[in-house]
Amino acid sequence: MAKKPATTEPSPQPAKSTDSVPFCQALANHLTYSVGKDHYTATPRDWFFALAHTTRDQMTARWMETMRRYYEADAKRIYYMSMEFLIGRTLTNSLMNMGHYDECLKMAAEAGLDLEQARAMEPDAALGNGGLGRLAACFLDSMATLGLPSYGYGIRYEYGMFNQRIENGWQVEHPDSWLRYGNPWEFPRPEVLYPVKFYGRLVEYTSEAGSLRHHWVDTEDVMAMAYDTPIPGYGGKSVNNMRLWAAKSSRDFDLKYFNEGNYIKAVEDKNESENLSKVLYPDDTTAMGRELRLKQQYFFVSASLQDMLYRFNKFHKNFDELPDKVAMQLNDTHPSIAIPELMRILLDLNHLDWDRAWDIVTRTFSYTNHTLMPEALETWPVSLLEKTLPRHLQIIYEINHLFLNDVRHQNPGDTELLKRISIIDEDNGRRIRMAHLAIVGSHQVNGVAQIHTELMRQTIFADFDRFYPGKIINITNGITPRRWLNQANPGLAGLITEHIGDGWITHLDQLSKLNKFATDKAFQGKFLRVKQANKESLAKVIEEKLGIKINPASLFDVQIKRMHEYKRQLLNLFHVVTLYNRIRANPGENRVPRTVIFSGKAAPGYARAKLIIKLINDVADIVNHDPVIGDQLKVVYIPNYDVTTAAEIIPAADLSEQISTAGTEASGTGNMKLALNGALTIGTLDGANIEIRDEVGTDNIFIFGLNTAEVAEITSKGYNPWDYYHGNQELRQVLDMIGSGYFSPDEPERFRPVIDSLTAGGDQYLLLADYTDYIACQEKIDALYRNPAEWARKAILNVAGMGKFSSDRTIREYAENIWGVKSVLRPEV
């Protein structure tokens, strides 16, 4: 075999283990010595823990070696600062990335160990809400695979995203106690402990040299303790670190009360400060400005900056070098208090002058925006900052003062501009606009899909785009092909590898080699058989979990994402009811049978989204039990959508619903996962759907509805939903049925408010305007589904066209266009 040339790119070879201790020996040792069980007494959970420890061992040596390599290269580091990392399960991912998967399968088969059962014991690490948190997890995988010296910094929530149960059709939230049995992947670091200050007061003094200095005193301190989790890259060459912070009470805190003899008060307060990292906020739709959330943000930012500077100062004494050695990426505005915090550290603790400090800060930070929805943009009341972080408020005022001076200088007399662009919103009870702070304090700001970036430039951040030309750039999102194809869909991954080799795992654009198989009958047949097998597995899961029998030959129509009005699950449901009415009106007609699958959580405080879940379940109840409907239509709501559930549903999907109102979905990443797994998309010209269309070809995607320009036009002209209500008899029938209690005979008025918000309420997301085109588009889909070869051809072209959407490509763009970092890969051995 020809020797491979040395390369700085990760090798496209399957990950192969190089470790010497046989896996099964190591596993047996862990079962005995770490878990304390033998083959006779071990439960599936014991096996999971033994497997996890064995796998973690394999990562650890490589992890230490990677860290040493970064030190030796004095590499520029990336710190990915995120309130959320939606990791999901780790066992299969680590085994595959480290190259032990095949060995483990073989060993399990020989030992009669049920690997599936053991794997199912791992809780889903759900330290995130949805898109933003899962993107961060895909990025960690790509950064490690590319050998980039990067660290994820976040919070070790004791309770992650709530568990959703459906009781009588309603969402009920239950705490997600994911650490209950212990977390075998993490290393607690009790010695990595930093104080984080809150409240207190400021003392000003003049230094000997005559400059004004600030002391922040009488603070209440909480300690941040590090927990490290290794993040293996594919091929195991680099293993990076995710460092999450947990709150611990400080000794001072305890001593104060113990000395006063108030033992109970001391323990109570200890509890209170440890509440900081207790729970993830599960509402990603409205920024409601809760004090504890602000404290969480500052808590992890302060600890991360202390940690980063400790590492920096080991080798560098001059802060001017910081931007050459450190890139800090703010995942949305949630960590943007880091900007005044780094200013405070440089000014107050290290006595740099303002201009020098500001230059360092703005060359170090960059910020990613993930939403245009005004209600999700964070603002904090000035009064809250004044109380909680008084020095930061002062620094923000100074940043704003200098910034507005510059703006005024360039735009004399434009007071309206100053009001719009200011970091302080003076109209709504004085609030800090965190997005404005993040833009001013960053050298680059990015949107997450072309259209999203365009809209940022033209709408919410138009003033900034004029003031800082070139600062706002686009970096389209991506997903990791390791988890979302190689692990989630072994059938399809195997088929692809059989035909084009396995280079696609690290070079996803190689999928374009599949183009030539799109019309190959034999390949089409194999492709459809893989999809069919995946559908049968999902049908089995659904029957086991929910007792609903679905027809695996039906078209699996899938909408899986957070429940939100802008994502328009309701529009999908209107199609369901339309089909229901058509079947009942004409039961004998030959139709394409459909199974419509929904999954997704609603924010606990988002009453309308929860009511829509109830509506989906009420419709499902009637449709699924109607003997006239039979096998032709089924509706399934799969509870507790999480990373694991996503990986079960996605490989089985025929149709991917990406139907948000044009201009509302920043990017979407589920759209990428589904297309990569051979689902066809029905979607609007929104988010990354547009770029998916560009890649797979207009003929291979089903686009419908108003585009952003048309949305703007129709809303500016005065949109009247009643025109659509009266203009389409089927639509009227659907709305009347839901509104008058056809699906809720026990409470006929239950869904009246939902319908009223669309008719009398103005239909903010234009469901009625898009209904007719949506239904027509669904009819085209049915027609295509009747022709399996043609369907397969288009689905194969979708897979072949998805190369662009690897998060490896996304991360390379961040590395080149924002971070200025280079890969530090292990020399080939």
Site string for ligand 26V, 76-115 (x = CB under 6 A): ----------------------------------------
Q: How far is the CB of 466 from ligand 26V (least distance, A)?
A: 25
Between strands 431-433 and 379-381, the pairing is antiparallel
List, in sequence order, every residue forming a beta bridge with 151; answer none if it has no partner.
Answer: 79, 241
Residue closer to ligand 26V (CB basis): 309 or 653: 653
Residue 567 CA neighbour count, 13 Å, CB half: 26
* Nearest to 672, CA basis, from 781, 565, 562, 804: 804
DSSP states of 8-46 as a string? SSPP-SPP----SS-HHHHHHHHIIIII---TTT--HHH
Stretch that binds ligand 26V, among 123-131, 520-528, 773-781, 808-816 (CB under 6 A): 123-131
- Quick one: the chain helix, strand, coil %, rounded to 5? 50, 15, 30
Residue found by looking up tokens 């390369």 in the block: 7
**Segment interacting with ligand 26V (CB under 6 A) among 27-35, 298-306, 660-668, 761-769:** 660-668
Q: How far apart are CA 326 and CA 339, in angstroms?
A: 14
Build a one-symbol-per-residue string for 407-446: x at contacts with ligand 26V by CB under 6 A, - elsewhere. ----------------------------------------
Q: Which is nearer to ligand 26V, 130 or 390 (CB)?
A: 130
- In order of 185, 566, 781, the CA distances from 679 in angstroms are 33, 22, 12
Q: Using DSSP bridges, classify how beta strands 220-232 and 379-381 pair: parallel, antiparallel or unpaired.
A: unpaired
The piece of 19-27, 280-288, 310-318, 338-346 that touches ligand 26V (CB under 6 A) is 280-288
**Which span sits near ligand 26V by CB under 6 A: 114-122, 207-215, 636-644, 659-667?**
659-667
Give the distance from CA 344 to its chain's centroid: 31
CB of 130 to ligand 26V, least distance (A): 5
Closer CB to ligand 26V, 132 or 692, in the complex: 132
- Measured at the alpha carbon of residue 559, what is the angle toward residues 556 and 562, in degrees to the nearest 5? 155
Q: CB nearer to ligand 26V: give 142 or 477.
A: 477
What are the beta bridge partners of residue 78? 150, 327
Q: Which residues are catalytic?
A: 370, 561-562, 567, 669, 673
Q: Which two tokens stand for residue 785?
A: 């589904």
Interface with ligand 26V includes 481 (CB under 6 A)?
no
Residue span binding ligand 26V (CB under 6 A) among the ranges 129-137, 201-209, 717-725, 740-748: 129-137
- Residue 666 interacts with ligand 26V (CB under 6 A)? yes
Judged by CB, which is closer to ligand 26V: 295, or 794? Answer: 295
**Which CA distances in Å does 537 have to 494, 617, 631, 650, 757?**
17, 23, 18, 12, 39
Task: Please pick, from the candidates 122, 186, 665, 770, the single residue that binds ligand 26V as defined by CB under 6 A.
Answer: 665
Q: Does 132 bind ligand 26V (CB under 6 A)?
A: yes
Contact 763/769 with Cβ under 8 angstroms? Answer: yes
Shortest distance, position 289 Cβ to ligand 26V, whole Å = 9
Can you spell out the DSSP letters for 131-192? Answer: HHHHHHHHHHHHHHHTT--EEEEEE--SB-SPEEEEETTEEEEE---TTTT--TT-EEEEEE
For residues 459-478, which are near ligand 26V according to CB under 6 A?
477
Contact status: 479 vs ligand 26V (CB under 6 A): no
Stretch that binds ligand 26V, among 430-438, 534-542, 594-602, 662-670 (CB under 6 A): 662-670
Among 240, 669, 700, 807, indicate the residue that binds ligand 26V (CB under 6 A). 669
Q: Give the residue, chosen from 166, 172, 267, 376, that forms a contact with ligand 26V under the rule CB under 6 A.
A: 376
**Does residue 161 bind ligand 26V (CB under 6 A)?**
no
SS3 at position 633: strand
Minimum distance of ligand 26V from residue 332's CB (angstroms): 6
Establish if 690 lies at the interface with ligand 26V (CB under 6 A). Answer: no
Q: Nearer to ligand 26V by C-beta: 131 or 235?
A: 131
Which of 593, 687, 705, 739 forms a contact with ligand 26V (CB under 6 A)? 687
Using the rule CB under 6 A, is 135 a contact of ligand 26V? yes
- Only segment of 239-247, 318-326, 468-476, 663-671 that touches ligand 26V (CB under 6 A): 663-671
Longest dimension (CA), the chain: 93
Q: Based on the shown chain and the rule CB under 6 A, indicate whether residue 371 belongs to the binding site for ligand 26V.
A: yes
Task: Identify which range of 124-132, 179-187, 390-398, 512-520 contacts ligand 26V by CB under 6 A.
Answer: 124-132
Residue 284 binds to ligand 26V (criterion: CB under 6 A): yes
Q: How far apart are CA 620 and CA 16, in angstroms?
A: 47
Q: What's the length of the chain? A: 829
Please report how close the Cβ of residue 607 comes to ligand 26V at its closest, in angstroms: 17
Least distance CB 21 / ligand 26V (angstroms): 40
370 binds ligand 26V, rule: CB under 6 A: yes
Closer CB to ligand 26V, 376 or 548, in the complex: 376
Question: Is residue 585 packed enough to be buried (19+ CB in 10 Å), middle (13-18) or exposed (0-12)?
Answer: exposed
Q: Strand 431-433 and strand 555-560: pairing?
A: unpaired
Q: How many residues bind ligand 26V (CB under 6 A)?
A: 21
The nearer residue to ligand 26V, 284 or 307, going by C-beta atoms, is 284
Site mask for ligand 26V (CB under 6 A), range 308-337, x = bound: ------------------------x-----
User: Closest distance between ligand 26V and the C-beta of residue 361, in Å?
Assistant: 24
C-beta of 452: minimal distance to ligand 26V in Å? 8
Half-sphere exposure of 697 (CA within 13 A, CB side): 13
- Both ends of the chain: CA-CA distance in Å? 16
**Which residue number, 138 or 633, has a Cβ lying nearer to ligand 26V?**
138
Q: Are 277 and 158 in contact (CB under 8 A)?
A: yes
**E-assigned strands of 603-701?**
633-637, 655-658, 680-683
Shortest Cβ 132–ligand 26V spacing (Å): 3
Residue from 58, 129, 658, 806 binding ligand 26V (CB under 6 A): 129
Q: Do residues 188 and 245 make contact, with C-beta atoms less than 8 angstroms apart?
A: no
Residue (137 or 511) nearer to ligand 26V, CB:
137
CB of 379 to ligand 26V, least distance (A): 10
Q: Using a CB cutoff of 8 Å and minimum separation of 24, what contacts does 699-703 make?
A: 699/794, 700/794, 700/797, 700/798, 700/801, 701/798, 702/777, 702/780, 702/781, 703/777
Please tell me the distance from the alpha carbon of residue 400 to that of residue 702, in angstroms, as a whole number: 47
| Identified binder of ligand 26V from the candidate list 23, 48, 281, 517, rule CB under 6 A | 281
Contact present, 46 and 31 (Cβ < 8 Å)? yes
> Measured from the CB of residue 300, what is the shortest distance to ligand 26V in angstroms?
14
Q: Which of 10, 130, 340, 481 binds ligand 26V (CB under 6 A)?
A: 130
**200 near ligand 26V (CB under 6 A):** no
Region near ligand 26V per CB under 6 A, out of 65-73, 426-434, 665-673, 724-732: 665-673
- Write down the least CB distance from residue 369 to ligand 26V, Å: 9
Nearest to ligand 26V by Cβ — which residue?
131
The 10 Å CB-count burial string (b at 16+, else e) for 268-296 is ebeeebbebbebbbbbbbebeeeeebbbb
Strand partners, 198: 220
DSSP calls for 472-499? EEE----B-HIIIIIIT-HHHHHHHHHH
List residues near ligand 26V by CB under 6 A: 129-132, 135, 281, 283-284, 287, 332, 370-371, 376, 448, 477, 665-669, 687
